[in-house]
Chains A and B, each alone.
Chain A
Amino acid sequence: MWRLKKPFAIYIFLLLLLVPVNAFAEEFRVESGRSIQSAVEDAGNGDTILVSPGVYKENVMIDKEITIKGEEGAIIDGGGKGNVIIVTASNVVLEGLTIQNGGTGQEDSGIFIKKAHHNVIKNNTLKNVQNGIYIANSNENKLLGNRIASNESHFSERGNGIHMFKGEGHLLKENEIAKVQDGIYFDFTKGIKLQGNHISESRYGMHFMFSEGILAERNHVEKNVTGLMVMDSARIDFIENKVTDHFHFRGYGILIYETKEVLVEGNEILRNSTGLSLEYGVDTLINRNQIAANQVGLEFMGKNENNTFSKNNFIGNVVQSKISGEDMRLDDGVKGNYWDDYSSFDLSGDGVGEEAYKAGSLYDRLLRKQPYWQFFFESPSIKLWTKAEALFPSFGSADVYDARPLIEPVIMLQETEQLSKDRGIPGIIGILFILFSILVIVKGRKLR
């Protein structure tokens, strides 16, 4: 019995500790037509301000540890100048507000968080603002479920959805970002976690500059110019993201430039101008990705060192790989990747082809120097050339190869269940059909 009592006693004790703080915590309500700023001035640390529906035309400065909750239809309108809300205090909660019409200066934002920590920005709608949320020199803020759009101009005139400048430990979860310059911009940041964000119709989905230690999982970036742009950064993990439909003239699914220790695992990289591009990438690990239906599946430029590829599926890319630069091996020594244009055999039956898969034909390399030769793509002469190259592999002297190419595509975990379920139904229909046919034949014979 005392076992139960003890934690309870501790709980009571903790509650008592909290009482002196909470005893003075108040809840204000701001009615339409009044000012939120003056409510903030009247409030003390720990207070909550409830905002009634209505349009509040003001710029709000928050320098206390308070919570501001908007009821549905509570709109703060910055009137086209400066930041709509500036937060300079820690432990602030902003929830359920619609924030609109900020200034158009380079750093003007819907919400600007300046040297403030442990704030929670949750379920807000930001629209017609230069930058959505700007976090400078701050740590451990949480941005959850916000919807962000910039203004209606060209992306070169807009700001970023979420811009983080110097700081660490933020969590960005399930934000919905569209029509900004760069969806999420990392500028000298570290230790950040991103989960389930959706970014579309912008220049870059996520843009990493001089940042390190970032985990991005189960995000979806689509229909931007480039999905994930990683430059001069380190220790970036991309796990189970969807990177789709980047069909811009200069678009990439994932572009990794001068970056080390990148992990790309279990992602779907589908329908992009170039699926995955590496330029001066070091120590990257690229595992179990679906790289399919891109115009160019894989691209290497310049020098890339110590990169490991294994168990990726390269399926239905118009050009499987485009290579210029240094030699490279595309398998981890045990298992390589599945290439749907691989044409050798598996004689030993271990699921690995007996001959190495050579990436990048001579034609691909010519394309780098003479882009206009694209005109001859799929022409009989180029086909003949490529075939000749495949028959006499030394001819092209491509030095990027997969020594352990897989014969069957790797089946990713999520899909196996669905496949086995779906397979049953056609089987049953087939059996019924055969039975019916036999019946018809037997009946027919009897009638004769």
Chain B
Amino acid sequence: MIKKLGVLLIMSAAVISGCNNSTMEPEEINPEIDVCEVCNMGLAHEHYATEVVTADGEVYKFDDIGCMDEFMEMEAHLKEENASKKYVRDVDTGEWVELEEAFHAYHPDFWTPMANGVVSFKDKESAENYVNEQGMGEVLDYESLENHEWSWEQ
């Protein structure tokens, strides 16, 4: 009896912690209901989507990395260390990658949902491959992306 109660307790604990998202993991995109927090556009091109997950377990979704940057400008308190994690997706596989670790290909003519021209990848190699394939653009890492001027800023 006590054993059963124990199992129940653990299960309920798992359920509660599951709701909390305390690990700050990214959440799956549902194109049917998810829309960009900033521009209201439905997230149809899932592989271009990005997310901000806060320490409180809130998940904000964006259709384009540019929209996420605009959001972070507006919500200054999320910039503090450990307040939030930012995720982008590898455009080829849809794998979630933390923004700090991702590499990006940039050219104003690269297509993205909000025409920011920044396409993200899980490693430097894939980003370079993309630039070579397209025959234009440059590879950006986290630091150069920080200094990048977004189209909405111009």
Interfacial residues, chain A to chain B (CB-CB below 8 A) = 106, 154-156, 181, 187-188, 203-204, 209-210, 225-226, 229, 231, 249-250, 255, 257-258, 279
Chain B proximity of A247: nearest CB distance (Å): 13
Are B31 and A250 closer than 8 Å at their CB atoms?
no
Knowing A154-B31, A156-B31 are in contact, say whether A203-B40 is a contact too (CB < 8 A).
no
* Contacting residues of chain B (48-104) with chain A, CB-CB under 8 angstroms: none
Question: Which 6 A-B residue pairs are closest in the complex by CB-CB distance?
Answer: A156-B31, A156-B44, A250-B35, A249-B33, A203-B44, A203-B42
Chain B contact residue count (CB 8 A cutoff): 15
Are B44 and A155 closer than 8 Å at their CB atoms?
yes
Are B46 and A156 closer than 8 Å at their CB atoms?
yes
Chain B proximity of A324: nearest CB distance (Å): 13
Verify if B41 is at the interface (C-beta below 8 Å from A): yes
Q: A155-B44, A188-B115, A279-B40 are in contact. List 16 more A-B contacts (CB 8 A).
A: A154-B32, A156-B43, A156-B45, A156-B46, A187-B115, A204-B42, A210-B115, A225-B42, A229-B41, A231-B39, A231-B41, A249-B32, A250-B33, A250-B35, A255-B40, A258-B39
Chain A proximity of B146: nearest CB distance (Å): 24
A188 to B35, CA, bound (A): 22
Which residue of the partner chain A has the closest CB to B29? A156
Instruction: Sample 5 A-B pairs with CB under 8 A, ordered by A number.
Output: A155-B44, A209-B114, A225-B42, A229-B41, A250-B40
Chain A proximity of B36: nearest CB distance (Å): 10
Are B115 and A209 closer than 8 Å at their CB atoms?
yes
- Set of chain A residues within 8 Å of B42, measured between Cβ atoms: 203-204, 225-226, 250
Chain B proximity of A198: nearest CB distance (Å): 21
Which residue of the partner chain B has the closest CB to A226? B42
A275 to B44, CA, bound (A): 22
Over the window 113-149 of chain B, the binary record of Cβ atoms lying under 8 Å from chain A Cβ atoms (1 yes, 0 no) is 0110000000000000000000000000000000000
A21 to B130, CA, bound (A): 47
- Set of chain B residues within 8 Å of A155, measured between Cβ atoms: 31, 44
Within 8 Å by CB of B39, from A156, A203, A226, A257, lies: A257
Are B41 and A181 closer than 8 Å at their CB atoms?
no
- Set of chain B residues within 8 Å of A106, measured between Cβ atoms: 111
A258 to B32, CA, bound (A): 24
Which residue of the partner chain A has the closest CB to B46? A156
- Set of chain B residues within 8 Å of A225, measured between Cβ atoms: 42
A229 to B44, CA, bound (A): 14
- Set of chain B residues within 8 Å of A257, measured between Cβ atoms: 39-40
- Set of chain B residues within 8 Å of A181, measured between Cβ atoms: 44
A174 to B141, CA, bound (A): 47
- Set of chain B residues within 8 Å of A203, measured between Cβ atoms: 42, 44
A210 to B113, CA, bound (A): 11
Which residue of the partner chain A has the closest CB to B115? A210
A231 to B42, CA, bound (A): 13
- Set of chain A residues within 8 Å of B39, measured between Cβ atoms: 231, 257-258
Chain A proximity of B118: nearest CB distance (Å): 16
A258 to B40, CA, bound (A): 11
Which residue of the partner chain B has the closest CB to A156? B31
- Set of chain A residues within 8 Å of B41, measured between Cβ atoms: 229, 231
- Set of chain B residues within 8 Å of A188, measured between Cβ atoms: 115
A226 to B42, CA, bound (A): 9
Chain B proximity of A293: nearest CB distance (Å): 22
A14 to B42, CA, bound (A): 55
- Set of chain A residues within 8 Å of B35, measured between Cβ atoms: 250
A194 to B31, CA, bound (A): 28
**Most chain-B Cβ atoms within 10 A of its Cβ — which of A188, A210, A250?**
A250
A249 to B32, CA, bound (A): 9
A242 to B127, CA, bound (A): 45
Chain A proximity of B123: nearest CB distance (Å): 22
A282 to B140, CA, bound (A): 35
